[in-house]
Amino acid sequence: MKKQNLHRNGWLEKRAVRLHRHRKRRIYRKHRSFVKTPIPRRYKGRKNGGSSLVLPQKMDFEGNAKNTLQVFRVLRRIARGESPSSYIDFDSLSEISPEAAVVLASEIDLWDRNLGRKLRAKTNGWDPNVKELLREMGFFDLLNVDNQNHVIVNKKTVFLKIISSDLATERNGGIFAVDLREEVKKFAHQIDELSLYDALSEALMNVIHHAYSGNMEYKSKLFWMSASYELDTGKLSVVFYDQGKGIPKTVKTMGYYERFRASLPSNFLKLSDAEKLCALVHKPRSSVDIQGRGNGIPKMIELAKGEQGNTFTIISRKGSCVTKLEKGKIIESVPISLPRALRGTLITWELYI
Amino acid sequence: MSEILKISDWSTVPFGRYDPIDGDFNGEKYRKDYLVPALKKGSVNVILDGTAGYGSSFLEELFGGLVRHEAFTLKELEAKLTISGSGKYAVYERQCWNYINAATK
């Protein structure tokens, strides 16, 4: 009996090694368009090699969503492969939206946190505008890139340094909301301070209570947030991101699902991710319900209720809901299905100040 | 004589609902440590001015929790509780009473 058990254990170990090698080969074949060199099978003693992740020309969650989401997926796969020589190639990148930049920063940040070393970056041929954007957002610190010789270009947009923390350990979330608000006020003086604090508080509360809930593998409750301001149009974009399970998956844990189940569509759980998000935005509410508990998403929208046409966008898993507001009212909410899933939840407020 | 409670004397960044998971300045903590003891003594005027703002979770747990967890009735609170917010904080006054009303239903 004892000999049979030893034999079985040996077989399991060999099988695990074979599966690992097979998975690495499959990752290379599938993501060949973004990976320049093969992921090496052996890492010890190799000074050169490793894989480079080449960023596409444009990164955003609108016309370039597929390629943008693919980048994040490949980055995580490379991290799992633990190649010690991997680096990220920014040379082709000429445009990146604030939302994509925040998500990219989160992936690079997680690389550093999980692997204990910073991801390297190829910086020789960066587009100067992109370089300045990434410098302002704090990418140079994340990538350990020399910050001294940046190129100053005609600025059309001001970007804020990304604020990030782990709410599992830093529990006083209000401080982070105030930090971002104080930075925003430096260039967007007319921002409604209380509404901004309230909206960010709701997003932070979602991170603490729902985004990473009910799953033992989440030991951290990380978030990333930033803002940008277009000098010529006066458009302020505030971006908040977490890498939790995503609202479509956590909605059942939220207090208001059971409470407002009757007011949601009867087939709510069978809707696409995009339709679920829009249903939560547009959740019909009684005058009692509107003031009770479980109104996190509607409360976040309050920030976007101004005289001018503002937008509130929430992207989670394979869905996006873009809500347009004018003169304090919701004009329309458009559900958009994404070609690939975004991990977690990305919230953007676009306000004309 | 009504006791005055100014939330900004306790924290300028009130945040969250539950103690201790939501940090040191959450609604449950303020309700249990300050508001309920004051209401048991007599009338209370809660002043909302001077903070960075209020998330709905904080206010709902602070005031809605008086009904849900502390067994105060709407009539008692209408008789003993005053909520004051001036200027930009005035918008929170009505919200707080709506949370209390919603909690009674």
How far apart CA A92 and CA B96 sit, in angstroms, is 52
Identify the pLDDT of residue A219.
80
Pairwise CA distance, residues B74 & B100, whole Å: 7
Q: Give residue A190's pLDDT.
A: 87
Q: pLDDT: is A111 or B69 the higher one?
A: B69
Compare CB distances from B56 to A175, A177, A295 and report the shortest one's residue: A295
- Three-class DSSP category at A340: strand
Interface test with A, best of B56, B68, B86, B105 (most A CBs within 10 A): B56
| Residue showing tokens 């069978």 | A270
Query: Do A83 and A43 form a contact (C-beta atoms < 8 A)?
Result: yes
The pLDDT value given to residue A268:
82
Amino acid B8: pLDDT? 97
What pLDDT sits at residue A313? 96
The answer to whether the CB of A233 falls within 8 A of the CB of B47 is: no
Q: Which residues of chain B does A202 touch, with a Cβ-Cβ cutoff of 8 Å? A: 55-57
Select from B20, B25, B64 the Cβ nearest to the Cβ of A293. Answer: B64
Averaged pLDDT, B25-37: 97
What is the spatial distance between Cα A309 and Cα A327, in angstroms, rounded to a whole number?
Answer: 7
Tens-digit pLDDT profile for residues B35-57: 999 999 999 999 999 999 999 89
User: Sign of the C-alpha dihedral, residues A25, A29, A31, A32?
Assistant: positive
Helix and strand numbers (H, E) in chain A are: 11, 11
Is residue A242 a contact partner of residue A199, using CB atoms and an 8 Å limit? Answer: no
pLDDT score, position A286:
43
User: What pLDDT, on a 0 to 100 scale, did the predictor assign at position A299?
Assistant: 80
> Nearest Cβ partner of A293 from B14, B22, B60?
B60
Supply A329's token pair.
């009212």
The whole model's pTM is what?
A: 0.84
- Secondary structure (DSSP) of A34-70: TBSSPPPS--TT-SS---EEE--SEE-SSTTHHHHHH
Given the DSSP bridges, would you call strands A58-59 and A157-159 parallel, antiparallel or unpaired? Answer: unpaired
Can you say whether residue A65 is alpha, beta or left, with left for phi > 0 and alpha for psi between -120 and 50 degrees?
alpha
Q: Could you say which residues from 82 to 141 on chain A have a Cβ atom under 8 Å away from some Cβ of chain B? A: none
Q: Show residues of chain A in contact with B64, CB under 8 Å.
A: 292-293
Distance in Å, alpha carbon of B67 to nearest chain A alpha carbon = 12
The per-residue pLDDT string of chain A (353 residues; one tens digit each, 9 = 90 and over) reads 444 444 445 666 666 666 666 665 555 455 544 544 443 333 333 344 556 788 999 999 999 999 999 999 988 887 776 555 578 888 899 999 999 999 999 999 988 888 787 778 877 788 888 888 888 898 888 887 766 555 555 678 889 999 999 999 888 999 999 999 999 998 888 899 999 999 999 999 989 988 888 655 678 899 999 999 998 898 999 999 999 989 888 776 665 566 666 677 778 888 899 998 998 887 654 434 444 556 678 788 888 887 778 999 999 999 999 999 988 888 999 999 999 999 999 999 999 98
Percent of chain B's residues with pLDDT above 90: 92
Question: What pLDDT sits at residue A115?
Answer: 79
Closest CA in chain A for residue B98: A291
Instruction: Say if the Cβ atoms of B56 and A202 lie within 8 Å.
Output: yes
B33-59 residues labelled b (16+ CB within 10 A) or e (exposed): ebbbebbeeeebebbbeebbbbbbbbb
Nearest alpha-carbon partner for B17 in A297, A202, A245, A200: A202
Q: What is the pLDDT of residue A148?
A: 56
Omega of the bond leading into A339 within 30 degrees of 0 (cis): no
A328 contact partners, CB below 8 Å, separation of at least 6: A305, A306, A307
